[in-house]
Amino acid sequence: MQALSFDPAAASIGSDVVRGAMQGLQAGVTASPSTTALVPAGADEVSAQAALAFAAEATAFLALHTAAQEELVRTGTAVVDIARMYSEVDAAAAGGVLGIRPPGTYRMAG
Is 107 domain-assigned?
no
Is 16 domain-assigned?
yes
Is 19 domain-assigned?
yes
Q: Which helix (H) or strand (E) holds 40?
A: none
Which CATH number belongs to the domain containing residue 33 in this structure?
A: 1.10.287.850
Is 76 domain-assigned?
yes
Count CA within 13 A, CB hemisphere, residue 16: 5
pLDDT in tens, the chain (110 residues): 456 667 778 889 999 999 999 999 999 999 999 999 889 988 999 999 999 999 999 999 999 999 999 999 999 999 999 888 888 887 787 777 766 655 555 565 65
Is 83 domain-assigned?
yes
Amino acid, single-letter form, for residue 80: V
- pLDDT number for residue 5: 67
What domain count does the chain have? 1
Could you give the dihedral angle defined by the CA atoms of residues 46, 61, 32 and 28, in that order, rounded to the nearest 10 degrees? -160
